[in-house]
Chains A and B, each alone.
Chain A
Amino acid sequence: MSYLPNLLFIIILFLGIGFFAKNVKKLMRNIKLGQDTDVSDNKAQRWKNMAMIALGQSKMVRRPIAGILHVVVYVGFIIINIEVLEIIIDGIFGTHRIGLQILPQSVYGFLIGSFEVLAVLVFIAVIVFWLRRNVIKLARFWKSEMTSWPKNDGNYILYFEMVLMTLFLVMNATDVNFQALNSGNVISQYMAPWFSGLSEGTLHIIERGAWWLHIVGILIFLNYLYFSKHLHILLAFPNTYYGNLKPKGQFNNLEAVTNEVKMMMDSNVDPFAAPAEGSEDEVPAKFGASDVQDLNWVQLLNAYTCTECGRCTSECPANQTGKKLSPRKIMMDTRDRLEEVGKNIDANKGEFKEDGKQLLDNYITREELWACTSCNACVEACPVSIDPLSIILEMRRYLVMEQSAAPTELNNMMTNIENNGAPWPYNQMDRLNWKNE
């Protein structure tokens, strides 16, 4: 009978991690629905970017208040998780505070003491975050795409963190033996008196309750990630690794177009010649993107990484001047549609069944796409190297090259370039007239 808690713990741990692993598999399957793209170059720079931007939070602190508070929560999250390691070992082997048995008491006390201080700091930071969202009502948290689930999601995460930090401190405060050691209880010693009237038995029940709720809470939180914007705590790392290394102004040249253009320009090519063996494979099904499967997998990874902080949208000139475009919404729409496609595949035995919907029009409107000035402010603002602009460009490519659906003025501009080599209706032969004017 005495093994029952251990057994229960192992089952819960197994289920918690198992469900999470299942969702991670689904996540990777969905990301791989994207087109292939070569990101194998320049590994040294990529590792450096990951170390600086994700691990080092270099772009977060560009906005100092949110940035520093975020660093507190981030560091707290990572370091307090060392405590989770002890909880897992204790849970599996039925020990209690195994750390005390293997570490000198002073070291253990120092560790737990730091966790307690961090827990309080995290708690305070999370409260400030909550106030910024719900009381100060920072504009970027109240844009039109931030209603219903995205709005609630942001708050649920904060509540979760408040509860987890509280449980951790209560667990320490009600641990009679730990308090008796008087080492490492830097914060919890002040909480212990709150429970002073209670019997040792009741304290033990509260301590065990907090312990169990803490670990179960963490496992629930882990499984919540897949459904939440909070996935960034994991995906920020691969996302910054695979982030763009080229100058921001450089847009990719479509290789399929290059082949066709070269053929058109080359007088030695026989336009009626039979295509070379296997060359059909090189021709893409379509130019640009109208749905998530047309985007590349890094763009899809971007969508899952987005934590909807809205820094991109708050820097966007179109959004600032009241246009519908919001780079954050581009990322949220991409993720929502990708999830929909994923569920469709799950429901249809691994095959995507046409559902009469697509990313274009059903999620992202043309009005949004045409409002972009391609200024890269959103890309610069993103703390985790997401590139909303590349998705906008791919969708414009689809509109123009597959649908000939550019706004009339842009069609005029392009006709001018085609006919006289300038976006305006001037003759190319007049290009040097300025010299004599």
Chain B
Amino acid sequence: MSELLKVPTMAEFMAQGKQPEVLFWVGCAGSFDDRAKKITKAFVKLLNKANVEFAVLGTEESCTGDPAKRAGNEFLFQMQAVTNIEVLNAYEVKKIVTACPHCFNTIKNEYPDLGGNYEVMHHTQFLKTLLDEGRLTIEGGKYKGKRITFHDPCYLGRANNVYEAPRELIQKLEAELIEMKNCKRNGLCCGAGGAQMFKEPEKGDKDVNVERTEQALDVKPEIIAAGCPFCNTMMTDGIKAKEKESDVAVMDVAELIANAQDL
């Protein structure tokens, strides 16, 4: 399958004197984390299927600086931001799509002040537009009637008020979308934000991801849908901790759509 993936880089587009329709910002998790790489590939398959002329920065991409900023290291954040903005502006990038809500939030909200002004979309928003424009269709009832609950990533939901795009996509799968007790603006964090992903939690009586996984399991889903590589890891770990791997799968919305059409 992998040889079928078309993943052109910005450098290649530039060499041909062309501009892609959109830049796909892969992000560190999407580039290096084994689980997240599957999400990256699923999204690329959908982009290929819809004939979207996209490009990636490839080796010219670097961390947005989000975890550094939220850990309190403003210096490192701004060094990363300014470096990335230089690259993006040199390629005259106008529109960016990313499957990581942390990259999404940082580039969308924190880069403009530093000279980086782009239209930034989360991949669920972008996929929604492709569907609305008829460039992508969802066929096959693989997930028809399946109980799917969506875990809102904090940096997509509360941080940027995007709640509907991922849900509309799940509903397009003819799945049964079920909501957890805490959802949308009241969604409970997976426990990874604010640089927590990279450290052990403080002393407490439970891990946040286990608490959130329990909330998800309460509504008896067959699939927990996520829209963030970090949430995905945390929820997957939570499911393992509850020993429910054989009953419940954690999947990104892009993976659901790609799977639905057997891509």
Q: How far is the CA of A223 from the CA of B43 in the complex (A)?
A: 62
Query: Nearest B residue to A402 by beta-carbon distance?
Result: B72
- In the complex, what residues of A have CB within 8 A of residue B188's CB? 317, 320, 377
Partner of B63, one of A410, A423, A437: A423
Q: Does the CB pair B72–A417 fall under 8 Å?
A: no
Min Cβ gap B112→A in Å is 9
Q: Does the CB pair A431–B75 fall under 8 Å?
A: no
Task: Please report whether the interface of chain A is mostly helix, strand, loop or mixed according to DSSP.
Answer: helix
Stretch at the interface among B1-9, B139-147, B253-261: B1-9
> How many residues of chain B have a CB within 8 Å of chain A?
73
Partner of B109, one of A246, A320, A375, A428: A246
Check: B71 CB closer than 8 A to any chain A CB: yes
Q: Does the CB pair A288–B72 fall under 8 Å?
A: yes
Q: Does the CB pair B186–A315 fall under 8 Å?
A: yes
27 A–B contacts, CB within 8 A, in A order: A246-B109, A251-B69, A253-B110, A257-B78, A260-B75, A288-B72, A317-B212, A321-B204, A321-B207, A321-B210, A322-B204, A370-B202, A374-B70, A375-B193, A380-B158, A393-B70, A406-B73, A410-B199, A413-B198, A414-B73, A414-B76, A421-B80, A422-B28, A432-B9, A432-B31, A435-B7, A436-B2
Check: A341 CB closer than 8 A to any chain B CB: no
Given A246-B109, A250-B105, A258-B114: A417 in contact with B74 (beta carbons within 8 A): no
**Hey, what's the 0/1 contact readout for B49-61 against A, CB within 8 Å counting as 1?**
0000000101101
**Hey, what's the 0/1 contact readout for B31-45 against A, CB within 8 Å counting as 1?**
111000100110000
A373-B196, A433-B31 given; 15 more Cβ-contact pairs under 8 Å: A249-B109, A253-B114, A257-B75, A260-B75, A264-B79, A323-B204, A374-B154, A414-B71, A417-B67, A422-B32, A428-B62, A431-B26, A431-B31, A434-B26, A434-B30
**Hey, what's the 0/1 contact readout for A65-88 against B, CB within 8 Å counting as 1?**
000000000000000000000000
- In the complex, what residues of A have CB within 8 A of residue B176's CB? none
Q: How far is the CA of A131 from the CA of B189 in the complex (A)?
A: 31
Given A318-B204, A372-B194: A401 in contact with B74 (beta carbons within 8 A): yes
- In the complex, what residues of A have CB within 8 A of residue B109's CB? 246-247, 249-250
Check: A426 CB closer than 8 A to any chain B CB: yes
Q: How far is the CA of A436 from the CA of B196 in the complex (A)?
A: 31
Q: How far is the CA of A250 from the CA of B189 in the complex (A)?
A: 17
Q: Which residues of chain A have a CB within 8 Å of any CB of chain B?
A: 246-251, 253-254, 257-258, 260-262, 264-265, 287-288, 315, 317-318, 320-325, 367, 370-377, 379-380, 393, 395-401, 406-407, 409-410, 412-414, 417-418, 421-424, 426, 428-437
Q: Does the CB pair A323–B73 fall under 8 Å?
A: no
Using a Cβ cutoff of 8 Å, how many contacts connect chains A and B? 220
- In the complex, what residues of B have CB within 8 A of residue A423's CB? 28, 63, 67, 197-198
- In the complex, what residues of A have CB within 8 A of residue B195's CB? 374, 410, 413
Check: B82 CB closer than 8 A to any chain A CB: yes
Q: Does the CB pair B71–A409 fall under 8 Å?
A: no
Query: Nearest A residue to B40 by beta-carbon distance?
Result: A434
Partner of B200, one of A261, A398, A409: A409
Q: Choose among B74, B200, B203 the residue with the greatest number of A CB atoms under 10 Å from its CB.
A: B74
- In the complex, what residues of A have CB within 8 A of residue B241's CB? none
- In the complex, what residues of B have CB within 8 A of residue A429's CB? 59
Given A258-B78, A422-B62: A373 in contact with B193 (beta carbons within 8 A): yes
Q: Does the CB pair B159–A406 fall under 8 Å?
A: no
Q: How far is the CA of A393 from the CA of B32 in the complex (A)?
A: 28
Q: Does the CB pair A413–B67 fall under 8 Å?
A: yes
Q: Does the CB pair A262–B76 fall under 8 Å?
A: no
Query: Nearest B residue to A426 by beta-carbon distance?
Result: B32
